[in-house]
Amino acid sequence: MADQATETPVIGKNCAACKKPLKRKKRYYRNGAYYCNNNCFKKTLTKAEGEEKAEPKAEAKAEPKSEPNVEAKAEAQLESKAEAKAENNVSST
């Protein structure tokens, strides 16, 4: 137990965001890391949010949209035109 009480917490020597050396008076501890000021902490948050937003977009781009076959579209158009002509011929007679 005496060993645990004498151990000091490990404090990083550099800011987690900008990697500047930390001074004793200017340590800013948030979310398990030490920063040199609030601005560096906020930069880290916005960067993390940007990565989270970018991941779903990357997944959407990875999956190509399946387009129907171009030939099948052309055949369907020809069939619909032929049916329309047939209906016109039937209705006119």
- Give per-residue pLDDT as tens, 59-72: 555 555 555 577 77
Percent of the chain with pLDDT over 70: 68
Q: Token pair for residue 88?
A: 């016109």
- Give per-residue pLDDT as tens, 30-52: 888 888 888 888 888 888 888 88
Q: Would you state the pLDDT for residue 81?
A: 81
Task: Evaluate if residue 91 carries a pLDDT over 80.
Answer: no
Q: Can you tell me the distance from the alpha carbon of 91 to that of 63, in angstroms, rounded to the nearest whole number?
A: 48
Q: Can you tell me the distance from the alpha carbon of 7 to that of 18, in angstroms, rounded to the nearest whole number?
A: 28
Task: Evaluate if residue 4 carries a pLDDT over 60.
Answer: no
Q: Supply the pTM of this predicted model.
A: 0.43
71 or 93, higher pLDDT = 71
Q: Can you tell me the distance from the alpha carbon of 18 to that of 37, in angstroms, rounded to the nearest whole number?
A: 10
